[in-house]
Amino acid sequence: MGAEEAVIGQKGKSEAKSLNSANRNQGAGRVGFRRMMNRLAHGLFFLATLVGVVVLGILLFDIVNTGWKWVSADLLNNFASRFPEKSGVKAALWGSIWLIAVTAPLTFIFGVGAAIFLEEYAKKNWFSRLIQLNISNLAGVPSIVFGILGLTIFARGMNLGQSVLTGALTMTLLILPIVIVAAREAIASVPSSLRQASYAMGASRWQTISRVVLPYSMPGILTGTILALSRAIGETAPLIMVGAVTFIYFTPGNVFDPFTVLPIQIFTWTGLPKAEFQELAAAGIIVLLAILLTMNALAIFLRNKYQRRDG
């Protein structure tokens, strides 16, 4: 019996060793498979990023190579003309500046105000959730729909005509959902402990919002607002719908004057038969890209500034 028990014990030990070895091999195989899948996913993501960067680089190189020779002081100081050598973007540039100057405060006031109401004051029920869902859906509506809405309400209904104010109100409707969503996310990211600490010190709800919540969430709010304005300055379809003029020979003097913008001027030049106008369109794109990069750099600067202040 002792010999048989020893044999059985040796067999059990050998089986246990073989089982442990199989488990180790199986675990090593799983780890190797996961590493392989990780490297594969990393390569795919890098390839996707590389494709976007390469395509963007090719586009920028082609635009700069085509239009750089037309970028000069005359381009910024001349109005549009039938002669390429006398054409410029002065009216379109000032029209874009006027448009953004009016759109920015309207968007910020209404967008941040709506976000504060939805996050801090509105009751969390089905009605508030329905409003939030509709706002999120509006952020994906095609811009031409907002152009039709602006034409119906502002240009004709309010009799504002083809004015800077009409274009600014239409652009406000276009980017307002984006600003509201970005501001709501920034406000929702504020830790509840900060609110509770403010209430514990005897502050009212508005004092808590104005002195605790808004300063903490301001980097996200400003970044979302400026990026939304960057989209607005590059829009063409809504402004064509509300009647932005193609060729004008003056700069707007007030919000009720007719106007044009850089995207419309670029679109017009690309449809003209002379090759010089195609090069002028590329030069106009360079000017527009410079404005967009400036706005994005401003967004980064403001975000970093307020983050350092909070820290």
Asked whether residue 13 falls in the same domain as residue 85, the answer is no
Asked whether residue 160 falls in the same domain as residue 304, the answer is yes
* Residue at 13: amino acid letter: K
Instruction: List the domain range (segments joined by +) for residue 46.
Output: 2-69
Choose the final residue of a domain: 34, 69, 104: 69
Contact 287, 71 (CB under 8 A): yes
- Our CA angle for 169, 226, 222, nearest 5°, is 110
What are the pLDDT digits (tens) for 65-102?
A: 888 888 888 888 888 888 888 888 888 899 899 999 99
Asked whether residue 184 falls in the same domain as residue 244, the answer is yes
DSSP tag of 210: I
Give the model's confidence band at 169: pLDDT under 50 very low, under 70 low, under 90 confident, else very high: very high
Asked whether residue 136 falls in the same domain as residue 171, the answer is yes
Asked whether residue 149 falls in the same domain as residue 47, the answer is no
CATH of the domain at 116: 1.10.3720.10
Conformational region of residue 202, where left means phi above 0, alpha means psi within -120 to 50, and beta covers everything else:
left
Structural domain total, the chain: 2
Q: Is 196 helix (H, G, I), strand (E, B) or coil?
A: helix
Asked whether residue 16 falls in the same domain as residue 101, the answer is no
Task: Based on DSSP, count helices (H) and strands (E) in the chain, helices before strands.
Answer: 12, 0
Q: Would you state the structure tokens that stand for residue 214, as one six-digit string?
A: 């808004």
CB proximity list for 307: less than 8 A, separation 6 or greater: 219
Choose the final residue of a domain: 69, 85, 102: 69
What are the pLDDT digits (tens) for 210-238?
A: 888 888 888 888 888 888 888 888 888 88
Contact 245, 83 (CB under 8 A): no
Q: pTM here?
A: 0.79
Q: How far apart are the first and last CA of the chain?
A: 77
What burial class does residue 67 get, using C-beta atoms within 10 Å of its C-beta: 0-12 exposed, 13-18 middle, 19+ buried?
Answer: buried
CA dihedral 249, 255, 256, 262 (to 10 degrees): 40
Asked whether residue 34 falls in the same domain as residue 78, the answer is no
What are the pLDDT digits (tens) for 36-69?
A: 888 888 889 999 899 989 998 998 898 888 888 8
Asked whether residue 53 falls in the same domain as residue 163, the answer is no
CA atoms of 113 and 115, how far apart (whole Å): 5
What are the pLDDT digits (tens) for 236-279?
A: 888 888 877 767 788 888 889 888 889 888 888 888 888 888 88
Asked whether residue 23 falls in the same domain as residue 162, the answer is no
Asked whether residue 204 falls in the same domain as residue 134, the answer is yes
Asked whether residue 36 falls in the same domain as residue 123, the answer is no
Choose the final residue of a domain: 36, 69, 102: 69
